[in-house]
Amino acid sequence: MILKLENVSFGYKGQPVIRDVNLEIPAGSFLSLIGPNGSGKTTLLRLMSRVLEPQQGRVLFEGRPLSDMNAKDIARNIAVISSEQFFEFPYPVSEIVAMGRYPYLARLHGLTHEDYQFVDRALLLTNLENLRQRPISHLSSGERQRVFIARAIAQQPKLLMLDEPNAHLDIHHQIAIFELLRSLNREHGISIVAVLHDLTSAAAYSGITVLLHEGSVIKVGKPGEVITRTLIRETYGVDVDVFPSPAGGFPLVAFAPKK
């Protein structure tokens, strides 16, 4: 069990956002977190990465409470890519990725040979070798997203969390990112928790889907069990068509203009 949430609740000024969530995430999962806007997905992600502290309940990483771990500890195990990234300063790609080694560095010491190897590996996996020296402000959004993923990979995490990684990306880049995540999960054993808004990609790539609605977990299970017409109508409030994908094994969600 790589991550476990026990009776986690959280709210702002009396407004509950996350209500009594219980969740067990096995190691090696690729979990998609879906739900309508405002259901609390980003908040839940923040609670799982200790940006926020639960007001009730606790979050356990491999059996240890997150609250017992310090920032560097967590960073060595969990890497997070938020939806909002800043790149005002023109650091070259290699330096951005090298920042992923921060949790391992001793004060006043530079990066070791080993550190550089991890950085190189991350760049290789994300296909950024030839963009090493390019300042990050000069990249396209697709390339930038890969840089942030590379940085996360350089952290050598056991768990990778992403918040809507494919917003603003074209279909080419969306597929590229998903394939990358899939290979990280399958070939390198990194568990993945991703907040996704596109239900079809969630269904295609993830092994577990969690449906969140108004701060509570409505259903957990295989994508096919969670992404159903009924559940979507109950939570998202729309009528869609759900049918098996021609590729087999997962549902497709489709909708058409009203007549």
Partner 1 sequence: MRPAQRLFWLLLATLAIGGISLLLGAVGIPDWNILVTVRLPRIILGLVVGMGLASSGTVFQGILRNPLADPFILGTTGAATAGVMLANLFGIHNYYFLYCMALGFALLSIALVYRIALIDGKSPIQTLVLAGVIVGLFFNSLVFIVFSVFYRESFNVLFYLLGTLAGGDSVLITVSGILTIAGFGVSWLFARELNVLTQGEEAALHLGVEVESVKRILFVTASTMAAACVAVAGMIGFVGLIVPHMMRAIIGADHRYLLPASALGGAVLLMVTDAMARTLAPPTEIPVGALTALLGAPYFIYLLHTRQQAGEF
Contact footprint for partner 1 (CB under 8 A): 49, 51, 70-76, 78-80, 82, 84-91, 95-96, 99-100, 102-103, 105, 107-108, 137-138, 151, 155
Looking at beta carbons only, is 29 or 49 nearer to partner 1?
A: 49
Contact 195, 45 (CB under 8 A): yes
Looking at beta carbons only, is 86 or 258 nearer to partner 1?
A: 86
Q: How far is the CB of 82 from partner 1 (least distance, A)?
A: 5
200: left (phi over 0), alpha (psi -120 to 50) or beta: alpha
Looking at beta carbons only, is 138 or 233 nearer to partner 1?
A: 138
Q: How far is the CB of 134 from partner 1 (least distance, A)?
A: 12
Contact 33, 201 (CB under 8 A): no
Query: Does an H or E element contain 35, and which?
Result: none
Looking at beta carbons only, is 72 or 233 nearer to partner 1?
A: 72
Q: How far is the CB of 86 from partner 1 (least distance, A)?
A: 4
| Tokens 């080694």 sit on residue | 101
Q: How far is the CB of 8 from partner 1 (least distance, A)?
A: 19
Query: Does an H or E element contain 32, and which?
Result: strand 30-34
Looking at beta carbons only, is 157 or 223 nearer to partner 1?
A: 157
Among 131, 127, 123, 86, which residue's Cα sits nearest to residue 101? Answer: 123
Which residues lie below 8 Å from residue 126, measured CB to CB, with a gap of 6+?
146, 147, 149, 150, 153, 180
Q: How far is the CB of 88 from partner 1 (least distance, A)?
A: 6
